[in-house]
Structure 1
Amino acid sequence: MSRYKALSAELDPCERQLVERLRRLKDQGELTMRHLAAKTGYSAKSWERYLGGTSLPPREAVEALARITGADPVPLLALHEIAADTWDSRRARNVVEPRPATQEQEPEPEPEPEPEPVTLIGPTTPPASAPAPGRFPHIALTAGVVALAVAVLAALLLMLRLDDGAPQAAVAAPPSTAAASPSPSYSCRISRVDGRWSAGINQGRNDEIVYGATGADVAEAQCLLRRAGISPGGIDGMFGPLTLRAVKSFQQRSGLVVDGMLGPRSWKALRG
């Protein structure tokens, strides 16, 4: 059985129960992280996080593990749904809101001393003549236009500075994970052909297959093992740990050499 790190005490009971069930399924199927990556399409590093309790596995990963181990996915998916809610709630509580920066009060400027009156000695400069009555409206209109232009320009500059200072949201590109090619679908159509059992998948071939093989020959053997009352897991055409265990059990029951390889004698016994 694999050795796992102790789960964090912050995990919700439903999250802890989901991780422990996934660990048991992996151990019962004698699956390594590389087997999980090959059969489910999720990397070995991802499964280390899922089974370590540091990352919540996707719903599809839970379904894939249940499929390859022959387990019922319904209770696992129910636990996953509850665990997903508690996982999101805990992450929301851990978000720390930034504290507003305290504004330091600027010291009030000291009042400037009033200028002392100056006594002019000698002849004084005559006061400037007042503008002519006809020119005053034009001067006021020009001053108003200039003030309006300055205000508009200041507003535009302020908007440009705010746009430059605003933090730009970084667009994170989704990880380019290679889509796992879907496994071919096989169905068992057990029948007797010329006095021999056949699943109708590999056209009656009896080629030798060993652990790690894939394809129609493996699916044919899985169907015949299931007909013999020994479960090889799913009918997926992959000669994995569960199929290997079923082959050895069948060979031992049939009095054959228990080597885990499907050769001519094992095929003959399977086909009856």
Structure 2
Amino acid sequence: MSRWRGLPASLDQRVRQLVVQLRRLKDHSGLSLAALAARTSYSKSSWERYLNGKKLPPAGAVAALARLCGADETRLLALHEVAAQAWSAGRTVPEARPPEARIPEARIPVPQDRSGPAPRAVGDGPAPRAVGDGTPVPAASGAGRQVPLGPLVLGALTVLVVAGVALLLLRPWQGHTGAWRGAGAALAGRASGAAPEFTHRPGETFGCGVQRRGGALYAGHSRTDTAVLGSGAEGWDVVEAQCLLHHQGYDPGVVDGIVGGRTLRAVKRLQAGSGLPTDGIVGPATWKALRR
């Protein structure tokens, strides 16, 4: 079986599942990219882009590969339809950004005495007062000046409310990486729809905190029970499956989020012990065995 390069980290999970299935068919057929090009109407460079997640394969290429390998064409085309929707959405919908909070400037109104001299600015200092001989004498600091407290308090409250709304929108205390690399925090991130992209770094492994919730086992990295994981798949769903394999007594090797040979063998042993077809593919039936 050929060693595939990792798929782009930004690739949508639904597109990733389709590419993994196409890679698996190609590996099982034993055909090279050149052989695929010779037996289909798609070039070798096109197959290279399709199978490395650089370009969404057209439905015709998916159907051609299914017929060539004797696979279920209807099932693959259903996966392609879902992947095409995700691919289109990822290119037409711009990333939403939180609105910038504008904090209004608080202004303090200065009372005006229309019967006296022209009003003075707040920063000009106190006006002098006159004595009996007409000589102006500086007034004591703050004497005779009263600033209304109502507008000042209202302005301060406005600033506090706007700042609070900005903090709720921006939430700078929530770090994506830290929240998703610990067991349990990943589930909270996925429930809020703020799942970060999975990025694998060489030598990096992940912790497993398996707990039973509602009669099913969860390791804190994914709640899926339908994702299809085959050879070369990577992501948080793979981390979840590897943790559950460890818990069930089937050693998948290091928990690194990538389906390699050791993980495939562990899945096959679990499938054999659960009376499932031993194809090494984690699908709905295998997830059920992992979580029980």
The interval holding the TM-score normalised by the smaller chain is 0.3 to 0.5
The structure with the largest alpha-carbon Rg is: 1
TM-score by length of 1: 0.34
